[in-house]
Amino acid sequence: MSDPGTLALMLLALCGFAAGVGITAVGPGGVLVTVGLFALAGQDPARVAGTAMVTNLATGVLATAAYTRSGQLREAGTRRTALVLCGAAVAGTPLGVLLNSLVPGRVFGVLLGVFVALVAGLVWWRHRIATESGPAPAIVPGLPATGAVGVGVAVVSGMFGLGGPVLTVPLLVALHLPMLSALAASQAQSVVIAGVGTAGYAAHGAVDWTLAAVVGVPELAGVLVGWVLARALPARVLRLALVATLLALAPYLVLHG
């Protein structure tokens, strides 16, 4: 396991800031932390996931507070969705942490890249349907659908060190939950995923606390910038940005894996 040089540390800090912007603006930003640690820090999959989880905990708390302040998490439907997602995260995250120990380094990147590409395709399909037939009515997904999304995302997030929004946001948007509501609910879920995941990885010594600080501090600044952008830009722009971000990341993850 190699120590990253000065340039790598600077790039990791930049990844952290960009991740923070993406977390609150479009949802999938947190994956940039996993990508950066995997590509630049020379860490094994467990240490990548564990270190990323620590940063996700801090950003999740800040983003949840931001969306509570702006009102989204005070809405009854959004709050109910968030509570279901959080409960599902308690059940699914430990399984993801366990599965991480079974995944070789190359498979780690390939699986994540393929999954991200599939999610991008799903969101793009929903965008095309909305464009051709008009905006779909806003719907709060039912308990079974929300629970299934919550458990599935928690398992994958625990395995790869994601906070949750990278997958939860596009899936909730595909189920017709408004973009800002999906962003808000997924931030609350990310706190639980990151908290449970951090405890699991830390118990096995799979956290680099120094790298977590290098990435996490600029990431917190990015969270505030992204929150401002999310409230200023139309939902359609945010949705297209979400698709573009996922499609840009997917091939890199597969090839780097």
pLDDT tens profile 177-199: 888 888 899 989 999 999 999 99
Tokens of 71: 């009102």
Specify the DSSP class assigned to residue 2.
P
**What would the pLDDT profile of 95-137 be if each residue is shown by its tens digit?**
999 999 888 877 887 887 787 787 778 767 766 655 655 555 5
What pLDDT sits at residue 120? 77
- Interval 48-79: pLDDT, tens: 999 999 998 888 898 899 889 888 899 998 99
Q: What is the mean pLDDT of the chain?
A: 84
pLDDT at 128: 67
Q: Are 233 and 28 in contact (CB under 8 A)?
A: no
Q: Measured between alpha carbons, how far is residue 67 from residues 62, 111, 121, 183, 231 in Å?
A: 9, 31, 27, 8, 10
Contact indicator for 116, 56 with CB cutoff of 8 Å: no
Question: What is the reported pLDDT for 178?
Answer: 84
Long-range contact list for 4-13, CB < 8 A, 24+ apart?
A: 4/40, 4/41, 4/42, 4/211, 8/40, 8/41, 9/214, 11/36, 11/40, 12/36, 12/37, 12/40, 12/41, 12/211, 12/214, 12/215, 13/214, 13/215, 13/217, 13/218
Provide the pLDDT for residue 235: 67
**Alpha carbon distance 52, 64 (integer Å):** 18
Q: Residue 77 is encoded by which pair of tokens?
A: 């439907």
Phi, psi of 75 (to 5 degrees): -75, 135
Indicate the pLDDT class of residue 27, thresholds 50, 70 and 90: low
Q: How far apart are CA 59 and CA 76, in angstroms?
A: 23
Q: Where are the alpha helices (DSSP H) in the chain?
A: 6-25, 31-40, 45-69, 76-100, 105-133, 143-160, 165-174, 179-203, 209-232, 235-256
What does the pLDDT read at residue 131? 60
At 245 the pLDDT is 76
pLDDT band at 256, cuts 50/70/90?
low
**Distance from C-alpha of 156 to C-alpha of 160, rounded to nearest angstrom:** 6
For residue range 200-249, what is the model confidence (pLDDT) as tens digits?
999 999 999 999 999 999 999 998 888 888 778 776 777 677 778 778 87
Res. 172: pLDDT tops 60: yes
Structure tokens at 257: 């894996």
Check residue 127 and give its pLDDT.
63
